[in-house]
Chains A and B, each alone.
Chain A
Amino acid sequence: MLYHVSGTRARCLIDGELKQFLESGHVCVVATRDAGLRPDWGHAAGVRVLKDRCVLFLESTTGARSLNNLRDNGMIAAVISEPATHRSIQLKGRNARIREMNAAEKRLAARLAQSARQGVIEVGIAPRVAASWNFETLVAVEFELTGVFDATPGPKAGAEVK
């Protein structure tokens, strides 16, 4: 199944395999910025890819600054990365809107968080430490997708996924 994503910055394609990778519960780190162009990072349980939008499950106790930035300008970037292989994809978006998660999203986010914990255990983090990784206070951040980029380390990192 192919997803044509509309956006002014990029027209990109998220195919079945890529969608599956993005939604399989890898580690997710987020970037936002404030009005003075000072960046911030946040962490998320993962993403759900919709037709031309994404819903990201951002951890809010550690993400106050990121949430303020999103309310200010709605610009967002997120990298989804598989710890064992470093395969990574960067999503870029705009017009981000913060909202409560619905019941289905809560169930999905819990599964994604559990899978992310498993991913770091595979690279040597102690299971009891991985279990304490906090994904308990999540909010949904829904944004318009403007670009999808390969972020796996290497000379091609940053290339747009076409």
Chain B
Amino acid sequence: MTALPELMPCFQGVVPAAIATCDAAGVPNVAYVSHVYYLDEGHVALSCQFFNKTRRNIDQNPYACVKVMHPVTLEAWRLDVKFIRAETSGPLFDEMELRIQAIATHTGMKGIFRLLSSDIYEVLDVSHVRGYVLPRASEELPPARLGETRAELRGLQVLSDRVSRTEDLAELLEVLLNSLCELFRVRHAMFLMHDETDGRLYALESRGYENSGAGAEVAMGEGLVGTVAKTRRLLRLSGVGEMLRYARAVRNEMQRDGASLHAEIPLPGLCDAQSQMALPLVVGDRLLGVLVLESVDPLAFEDWHEAYLNLLANQAALAIERLSEQPDVEPAPEPDRPPLAARKRVFTWYPKDESVFVDGEYLVRGVPARILWKLLSEHDATGRREFGNRELRMDESLGLPPYKDNLESRLILLRKRLVERCPDVRIVPVKRGRFTFERDCELLLESR
């Protein structure tokens, strides 16, 4: 008998599994299963999302035969199993439900596409199905990755050192994402900050995407990022394409049946991601943000990634908190400024939406928009260029929370949005807690 742990790649949900059952009268049934979970050497769990024929058969006759396949080679195994029990709460149920929630909220089926129970089966026998694929593919099994663990541990140490030495939040986020790409071969990564004033998450820094996406928003509880933010639990999804195909099939069936569902929510990230991992950055009871890694490889992230990157996320969270609470430095005299070019940019403030547009295009909203409007207005009225974090904190009209205000991350977001949308106007950090407001154009301010 093959040992169950050897089949780990088959339990990632990349290729659908199938389950054959039979009722008390001897009528067989076969159904696809989106995900078979490995529990231990003698048990697997299947997700039950609908009270279907499989479930009714199992209640009459607990024996079943499960087909699992290797997602890369397509080799197949037979698992002869016996139903033990269905769990509707507890850690296993929560873990399985978390994945379903992430997909459900992404596909507009919150509360409809859900887990009814985690069905636990004892594995009676495991056999490799010889001849399911012809030998040429099985010869090309991915090479074993011996000796890499040590390299990864070293990578974690290097990253940890770099994170500890950073002196401001912008540098920390850069170091964090650059090092993930360099040391852990991550191709696509982003950090989303949690804005405690409105409960949403905003993309601040990213690597490997067509555009930086700075300012892209995610609501609490929506999709992978929102689910991880809400539950504050790490989540790793393999075979994302297959999960979405499955969910969309359910969605189509429900719509055909007359159900009115919410629209799919466009979320920041790769449109063709096959693996995703999201880690909550938490200090005490406070959620600082979510770190997201993505890949087009359906098996990019493994168990060890969870362990290593969870350590890293915890350290990054502590560093973010440390760097967000730096003392502000006293102002220095303003240097002379160069003459301005003749270009003109029109900034429009919409108090109702609390957003700023530049030349008719959306730029930023919320607290960063209020900060920008304050800087623009003061600069326009007095020509002032240098500003400090302390005065922003003292200005009640900006609506910053009195404690743990995330001002640093809001300034980073504002700076990035300006670089992308209006490079003629810049916010340049000069020293800890101070920055200058620079422009290469004339400003026209209007409020609507």
Contacts and interface: CB of A to CB of B under 8 A. Distances in A.
Interface of A: 29-33, 37-41, 43, 59, 61-62, 73, 75-79, 81, 83-88, 90, 92, 120, 123-126, 128-130, 132-134, 136-137, 149, 151-158
Contact of B132 (A30, A62, A87): A62
A78 B248 CA distance: 23
Interface in B252-278: 252-254, 257, 274
Nearest to A132: B137
Contacts of A61: 130-131
B211 interface: no
Given A40-B20, A153-B246, A153-B253, A124 B67 contact: no
Contacts of B216: none
B399 interface: no
A59 B209 CA distance: 44
A84 B249 CA distance: 9
B26 interface: yes
Given A31-B21, A123-B241, 14 more contacts: A29-B18, A38-B63, A39-B65, A40-B78, A62-B76, A62-B129, A86-B248, A92-B27, A124-B241, A132-B74, A132-B137, A151-B31, A153-B32, A155-B253
Given A38-B65, A158-B52, A129 B72 contact: yes
B321 interface: no
Given A29-B30, A31-B30, A39 B20 contact: yes
Interface string B226-254: 00000000000000011001101110111
B72 A87 contact: no
A30 B53 CA distance: 15
Contacts of A41: 18-20, 30, 65-67, 78
B298 A124 contact: yes
A61 to B, nearest CB: 4
B64 A39 contact: yes
B80 interface: yes
B134 interface: yes
A39 B32 contact: no
B254 A155 contact: yes
B89 interface: no
B61 interface: yes
A157 B52 CA distance: 7
B52 A76 contact: no
Interface in B29-73: 29-32, 34, 49-50, 52-53, 61, 63-67, 72-73
A90 B241 contact: no
B153 interface: no
A154 B254 contact: yes
Contacts of A81: 32
A154 B249 CA distance: 7
Contact of B28 (A33, A83, A158): A33
Looking at chain B's contact residues, is the secondary structure mostly helix, strand, loop, or mixed? mixed
The interface size bin for chain B is: 35 or more
A72 B249 CA distance: 36
Contacts of A123: 241-242, 245
Given A41-B18, A124-B241, A124-B274, A31 B134 contact: no
Interface string B177-190: 00000000000000
A136 B136 CA distance: 14
Interface centre among A86, A92, A153, A154 (most CB of B within 10 A): A153
B203 interface: no
B77 to A, nearest CB: 11
B444 interface: no
B246 A86 contact: yes
A74 to B, nearest CB: 10
A134 B257 contact: no
A76 B26 CA distance: 10
B49 to A, nearest CB: 8
Nearest to A158: B53
Interface string B259-301: 0000000000000001000000000000000000000001000
B20 A155 contact: no
Contacts of B76: 43, 62
3 nearest A-B residue pairs (beta carbon): A154-B253, A86-B249, A31-B30
Contacts of A134: 131-134
A33 B19 CA distance: 12
